[in-house]
Amino acid sequence: MSPAARATAALLGALVAVLSYTVQRVVDAVGEPPAAAILQSATIAYFWRVPLAVLHGAAAALLARALPPAAAATLLDRAPVLVAAVLLPCVAALAWAR
């Protein structure tokens, strides 16, 4: 596997993990209990957000390894725009969900 393919897989895996966590957090923000109640329950969605986001990111990274080298290089060339396009809306959504 080429270094570009590895870097692309890592980049896409990380972006999908961030996006997955953000979506889960915003969806849960509607009916989430107060922080004090989180410690009283061991089965709340709060404890599952990070593992599910990591699982989604790992799945995306595995799928990204199948990209042809030319596509991986193109994605790496556009990485700054791609990162900004994913992270800025995620930051705004998380700030709204507070």
Q: How far apart are CA 46 and CA 40, in angstroms?
A: 12
Higher model confidence: residue 16 or residue 48?
16
The predicted model gives 27-34 an average pLDDT of 72
The predicted model gives 71-82 an average pLDDT of 91
Q: Do residues 14 and 59 touch, judged by C-beta distance below 8 A?
A: no
**Type of residue at 69:** P
- Domains held by the chain: number: 1
The pLDDT tens digits of the residues spanning 56-65 come to: 999 999 999 8
pLDDT of res. 5: 86
pLDDT of res. 42: 56
pLDDT of res. 55: 94
The pLDDT tens digits of the residues spanning 42-60 come to: 556 667 888 999 999 999 9
The domain of 16 spans 3-96
pLDDT of res. 30: 74
- Long-range Cβ pairs for the range 94-97 (8 Å, 24+): 94/22, 94/25, 94/26, 96/26, 97/25, 97/26, 97/29
